Structure 1
Amino acid sequence: MSQRVIFLLVMVLALLPVAISQVSATFYYNGTVILYFNKPEWILIPSNWTLATSQGVVEKGQYVYPINTSEIEFHVKTKGVIQISQPNISSVSVLLPLNSKITYMSPTPISLNEEGQYVNITFSGGNVTVLYYVMDQNPFLNPYIYTTGVSSGVTAYLAYLLWRRRPSPQITPPNELDDRDMKILDAIRAGADNLNKISELSLLPRTTVYRRVKKLVTLGLVEEIRERGKVKYVIKGGAK
């Protein structure tokens, strides 16, 4: 056997695990996460995920491994924020109610389809962030009537832009905000315009600041401004 043939065989064998070790995730808006394995693979699980599958799974610290199952289910508390950062997940499908409004989504999805009472937004890779809230249903404002069968990223993104034009709910009155929200608003008023500064001034963890700032942006109390690749936050419209 020639050296060239041996080299090609080695390359094929090296690439084979990459081709078949595909792990995909389905993340429901209610906090249910299901991982699907084409081949057993160790997966690092975030600390806020709770393992729901009790059989056929090996746990080792924050890692899990399927031994006689192709699916593993988890539960995670979510309030309008769906986030996954897993380099060994090949694709993520986020299922939201049709009467949802997305306020932020990254990266651009590869597909967006209506499935029963849900919209299925699919992303390539395992680094996904979706911020949303559920609003009153109005079938005449449902963009999926016009986008069923979307398959390209460009069309999906256009559908997403159309979705964002749906009517926004009324801003939550200040008396419905809690102490942490008020601390963050006070910090922004004092000049803290990024997550690190807001965290330092409010004395709140950065992860908490991230979630609360996105909530305040969704409620229309804070404005997110992007300039030259940087993000800063300011009080919107003189909110008190």
Structure 2
Amino acid sequence: MLKTLLIIIFIMIFMLTFNVNSSTLILYYNGTVISHVVDQKCESLVGNNISDLVVYGSKYNISNNKIYFYNITNITIKYETHFQPGVVDVKEPYVMNITVIIPDNFTLNYVDPSPSSFQVVGKNYYIQFNSSNITLLYSSIISTKSKENSLSLFYILIFIIITVNILFGYLIYKERKVIRIKKNQDISTEIESGTEVELPEDPHLNDRDIMVLEAIKKGNITLSDIVKYTKLPKTTTYRRIKKLISLGYIKEVKKDGRIFYIIDDKK
């Protein structure tokens, strides 16, 4: 009952607002259509999937998306339709006053023909034409901004993920570096104190083992001499020496508080 009353009130306002001596058509972007037909026997229905059709002033029948009237004086039509998103397309058989209403948070992308009037009433655009055919394309500003905001959030999220990964990788690198430095310091301490370094048993000699062994054979019998000859790091040289001792290639000799390394003739 309330819905019917509201429709009647809207139609009365509509008829008072527009010139009732000519046919008029009002379309709201969401699909509500109200038309006042004067001295015409038919009218094309706008859009697709017509529903809730109400006709005041005449009996009618519908054929090929057109509505035909038995009475051709003053007829008012109200119905709901579906437009293609962002498109209002009207094709009527005669010239009439057409008004398209869209919210002011939409932007117009294309209008044909040029409107006879353009007004802002409240939060709506009232675009008026005096024509039989009109095409109007529009898009939502809010929708565009939402997409831009979503895209910005996506880039921010990607930036955060990359930053976290970089920081995490840097922390791992720093931790490994500290462990490596501490390990080298421990080995250096063992070298200075003469403490034996436990090495894994590997009977095969690698290139560094051979370099150290050749240096000793050529008369470099102190750790510093071997380091200078091979140009290997001190800790690496010391490990090679301990391995060669454990495998019996060389032996350690202490004399006058110094340590010398010589070839073990037993090997």
Taking structure 2 as the reference length, the TM-score comes to 0.40
Relative to its length, the structure with more helix (as a share) is 2
Report 1 or 2 for greater relative contact order, CA contacts < 8 Å, sequence distance ≥ 6.
1
Larger-gyration structure (1/2): 2
Taking structure 1 as the reference length, the TM-score comes to 0.44
